[in-house]
Amino acid sequence: MESDKIEKLIEKYFEATTTVAEEETIRAYFSQADVAAHLEQYAPMFRYFSDAKEEKYTKNLPLDTIAKVTKKRFPYRWLSVAAAGLIMFGIYFGNRYQEQQEAEYAYQETKKALDLLAQNFNRGTEKVAYLNQFEETKQKIYNVK
């Protein structure tokens, strides 16, 4: 019966819905020697949690060196202001440069299109010149007779 209750509590524990009292019940169950065989796999985990809860840091911290380090620290406040200014500068001039590049690209594409149009137009005028020559020759033939 108790193992059924512990199984339900373990399911709730893994779903993160247990209360502090239920977690204490689980820890107490796994801290005893007689744990059900099918629940043995969870015993090391809960024993570790109990042992880790008892650990304490015993080393002394030299507080005077911490104070010296904080006094010598670089004022990062001004560094962040400078970084923000640099970013704004880059965005402003980057946008202007990009707009200039887009305008240059549009100019080059328009120039290519107009060159192509001029070439085709010249080719068409050459054909018209042949038609004019044909017309003149035809007029000579018909007028002579």
Q: Which of 11, 40, 56 is the last residue in one of the domains?
A: 56
Same-domain pairing of 70 and 117:
yes
Same-domain pairing of 135 and 77:
yes
Same-domain pairing of 120 and 69:
yes
Q: Contact, 47 vs 31, CB < 8 A?
A: yes
Q: Contact, 21 vs 15, CB < 8 A?
A: no
Q: Contact, 11 vs 39, CB < 8 A?
A: no
What residue numbers bound the domain in which 49 lies?
A: 2-56
Same-domain pairing of 74 and 140:
yes
Same-domain pairing of 34 and 92:
no
Give residue-wise pLDDT tens across range 23-74.
888 888 888 878 888 888 888 887 877 777 777 777 776 666 655 655 556 6
- The token duo for 85 is 């200014």
- Global model pTM greater than 0.95: no
